[in-house]
Chain A
Amino acid sequence: MNSKVKATAILKDNLQNFFFVLPAFAIFCIFYIYPFYKMINLSFYDWRGIGPMHFIGLANYKELMSDHLWWNSIWHAGYITLIALTFQNVLAFALALACDREIRLKRFYRAVFFIPPVLSEVVVGLIWNWILNPQMQNGQYIGLLNHFLYTSGFPQLVHNWLGDPKTALTTIAIVHSWKGFGWGFIIFLAGLQTIDKQLYEAAKVDGASAWKTLTNFTIPMMLPVILVVVILTILGSMQVFVLIIAMVNEGLVNHTDVPVTRIFSAMQNVNRFGYACAEAVIFGMILVCVSFIMKKLSDKAKQA
């Protein structure tokens, strides 16, 4: 009898737990699992978004493997990511280090550095479009950058930054880094503030220079935080999209294509939903692989 009561209580307990989890599970299935399944499923079809769907097996993937525009777009995203990893994160780390010290107006700087990430990507794109405008009116450059270069004695540097294939992608990458460095700054600053200040004082007493303190002490202590920022930067930069649309519309020929603009174009311009899904699956797999590698590196760093 006792065991029957006990079993009933366990069942009741399990059911209760199950019901607690059910809403979250249902939401997860409806908004994550089903769309994910549907995307993989659609990648095996030739479908124009409406009307009949034709099963074509792996044909979309086969075509994708030889689509040089697609692989170029991956390289472009990689290039933007590389600039973000270096320029953006070094800047963020340097500024976080500066604001971690006892300097005047440090609260003000913290607020200022966090303004770009708060702005919408469309707004950032519009602002930079104006700054980079290559046109002239009444003998003066309309864009702030070219106007500044011209009036400060560097007319040879005046350039059509977004209209030249040699500079367009780098310009976008720099603007993307400008927009994103605030996140890294905040995370780095939070990480730096967890380091006991007494350790710095001890290093100082031992005669360690500022550089040695940074390389032998601060950076090793910050390694897990740095890896988090690196992963977030890679995921954010590989998926850059809105900024590109806001700055160069449908792109400078194919020089500013990134995977997400290719996926969008496959759906919007050529109505190939199946192909777009195949692109999304491959791109998702690349991101998962990168994240997995970074996670492994992060684990190793933590152990060290």
Chain B
Amino acid sequence: MRKVITLCSCFMLVLLAGCSQPPKPSNKLHLWHWMTDRNDTFLKLAQEYKQETGIKVSIQLFAPSDSYSQKVIAAAQADVLPDIYGILDKKSIVADFIKAGLVADLTDAMDADGGSWKNSLFDKGLADKSFEAGNIYGVKPGIYGVPIDVTNEQMLYNKKLLSKAGINAPPKTFDEFIKDAQALRRVGITPFVSGWGELWLLDCFASNYAFNIMGEEKIFATYRGKVKYTDPDWIKVFNIFTELRDKGVLIDGIVTKGNKYAEQDFALERAAFAFNGSWCVNVYHNMNPNLDYGVMPPPPISSAYPLKIWGSAGSSFVVNAGSPNKDKAIAFLKWLTAKKQQVVLAQETNNLPSNKEALSVISPILEEFARGMDQSTHPNIWPLNEDPSVSEAFDKGIQDIIIGEKTPLQVAQDVQEVKDRQMAKGNYSR
């Protein structure tokens, strides 16, 4: 009997061990991330940081990003977040994390020494996790995240395939793009590929043209419910996809294609144009080091408003506000985004550095991407975002157009129906 009680007591002790006391300040920082391609470099830099400061940084990789995101939310619910982590969700969720006291305000650290840290970083990278005064989320204005790199999504063209079709320069307008695509089709080359099985990428492409056709005020007015999706300008946006479909621009099966497959198609020269983010430089290099390609913004369809591309922090880290090592975590992030470390990250991972001073060392193709940052925007820096249910209906509606099941008008009506329903529930935007 005594043995049984002892065994059971041990078991209960093991169970109760989970309910441990809050961690105390230490010389060890815990960092969670999702970036498979950057893990080795992070580990190397953490080693250097330990040699310089004596502080050990434990880097833990949780991939893919969907699983990482779920893990962070679960850890937030259980209050077991690490010292440094990333929030991959929408701005409204970032706001919820901040309001729940899970993210430290970094404004003071950024502004210290005349704002030297802040000034060294790309504004658009910082804006990703910053909140302005009077923001709709009710978050105290400030900077809450540190961009490790910046990224933007643009179009890429394969120089060899274009020249096979007699095209000497990339298209400057949407009409030229359609003509080039038809020329490519005539010589048996698939014109365009993208991972539109991933809705965000499709949403990104569509929103680039929405900015071009109607400008940001009208887009935001739509999100506020003041303009309907059945407005002629939105129909024009949907019509782009009808034209891409009817003119044979798109690769077969684009609506179920994951971006990994799309990247493979472009790297293996199965398509002449692609729509992808700047991280693709590293991906293409690994798949086909001899790929000869260039970068261009999506060709505008209208001259009414400038075409905007999505660009912001590629990956950002935040500091756990409840961490006993908060100051050490901030110091580490400051070190990680200093020029020297950013050069290492840019050179080893082929990503755009978040530190402007590190731009001097990047490859010519990344430089082309970097030039796009000037015309970039991003949902995370908009004053408001569309309700996620409406966005889902919008993106799935475009898929419907591409597979020829619905007309732009039908899709616009469907999206507006979802919008009306959400408005009636008070969820006009987040």
**Are A12 and B1 within 8 A (Cβ)?**
yes
B199 beta carbon closer than 8 Å to chain A:
yes
A165 beta carbon closer than 8 Å to chain B:
yes
Instruction: Tell me whether A271 and B89 are in contact in the complex, defined as CB-CB below 8 angstroms, given that A135-B251, A249-B198, A253-B399 are known contacts.
Output: yes
**Are A254 and B396 within 8 A (Cβ)?**
yes
Q: How far is the CA of A271 from the CA of B99 in the complex (A)?
A: 17
A202 beta carbon closer than 8 Å to chain B:
no
Which of A248, A250, A252, A254 has the most C-beta atoms of chain B within 10 angstroms of its own C-beta? A250
Q: How far is the CA of A128 from the CA of B66 in the complex (A)?
A: 23
**Are B100 and A253 within 8 A (Cβ)?**
no
Q: Which residue of A lies closest to B396 (CB)?
A: A253
Q: How far is the CA of A248 from the CA of B197 in the complex (A)?
A: 7
Q: How far is the CA of A261 from the CA of B402 in the complex (A)?
A: 22
Residues of chain B within 8 A of A20, CB atoms compared = 4
Q: How far is the CA of A188 from the CA of B388 in the complex (A)?
A: 47
Residues of chain A within 8 A of B400, CB atoms compared = 253
**Are A269 and B66 within 8 A (Cβ)?**
no
Q: How far is the CA of A270 from the CA of B422 in the complex (A)?
A: 12
Residues of chain B within 8 A of A251, CB atoms compared = 256
**Are B66 and A268 within 8 A (Cβ)?**
yes
Residues of chain B within 8 A of A267, CB atoms compared = 70
B348 beta carbon closer than 8 Å to chain A:
no
Residues of chain B within 8 A of A269, CB atoms compared = 199, 388, 392
A48 beta carbon closer than 8 Å to chain B:
yes
**Cross-interface CB contact of A162 among B69, B256, B405, cutoff 8 Å:** B256
**Are B69 and A268 within 8 A (Cβ)?**
yes
Looking at the assembled complex, report how far the CB atom of B10 sits from the nearest CB atom of chain A, in whole angstroms: 10
**Interface 1/0s, chain A 36-58, versus B by CB < 8 A?**
00000000000011110000000
Instruction: Tell me whether A19 and B5 are in contact in the complex, defined as CB-CB below 8 angstroms, given that A137-B270, A247-B256, A253-B399 are known contacts.
Output: yes
Q: Which residue of A lies closest to B9 (CB)?
A: A19
**Are A51 and B96 within 8 A (Cβ)?**
yes
Q: How far is the CA of A133 from the CA of B268 in the complex (A)?
A: 15
Chain B interface, DSSP helix/strand/loop, else mixed:
helix
Residues of chain A within 8 A of B197, CB atoms compared = 248-250
B190 beta carbon closer than 8 Å to chain A:
yes
Q: How far is the CA of A30 from the CA of B69 in the complex (A)?
A: 23
A216 beta carbon closer than 8 Å to chain B:
no
Q: How far is the CA of A1 from the CA of B126 in the complex (A)?
A: 81
Residues of chain B within 8 A of A252, CB atoms compared = 255-256, 399, 403
Q: How far is the CA of A271 from the CA of B199 in the complex (A)?
A: 15
B258 beta carbon closer than 8 Å to chain A:
yes
Looking at the assembled complex, report how far the CB atom of B174 sits from the nearest CB atom of chain A, in whole angstroms: 24
Residues of chain A within 8 A of B252, CB atoms compared = 134-135, 160, 163
Q: How far is the CA of A290 from the CA of B430 in the complex (A)?
A: 40
Q: How far is the CA of A138 from the CA of B161 in the complex (A)?
A: 12
Within 8 A of B (CB), among A213-255: 247-254
**Are A129 and B188 within 8 A (Cβ)?**
no
**Cross-interface CB contact of B253 among A15, A133, A271, cutoff 8 Å:** A133
Within 8 A of A (CB), among B351-390: 388-389
**Interface 1/0s, chain B 269-305, versus A by CB < 8 A?**
0100000000000000000000000000000000000
Residues of chain A within 8 A of B403, CB atoms compared = 163-165, 252-253
**Are B405 and A165 within 8 A (Cβ)?**
yes
Which of A163, A164, A267 has the most C-beta atoms of chain B within 10 angstroms of its own C-beta? A163
A120 beta carbon closer than 8 Å to chain B:
no
Give 26 CB contacts A-B under 8 Å. Answer: A19-B5, A20-B4, A23-B8, A48-B92, A50-B73, A50-B93, A50-B96, A50-B97, A50-B102, A134-B252, A135-B190, A135-B265, A135-B270, A136-B188, A137-B270, A142-B270, A249-B198, A249-B257, A249-B258, A250-B197, A253-B255, A268-B70, A269-B199, A270-B392, A271-B90, A271-B92
Interface residues of B (CB under 8 A from A): 1, 4-5, 7-8, 11-12, 15, 66, 69-70, 73, 76-77, 89-90, 92-93, 96-97, 99-100, 102, 188, 190, 195, 197-199, 251-258, 261, 265, 268, 270, 388-389, 392, 396, 399-400, 403, 405
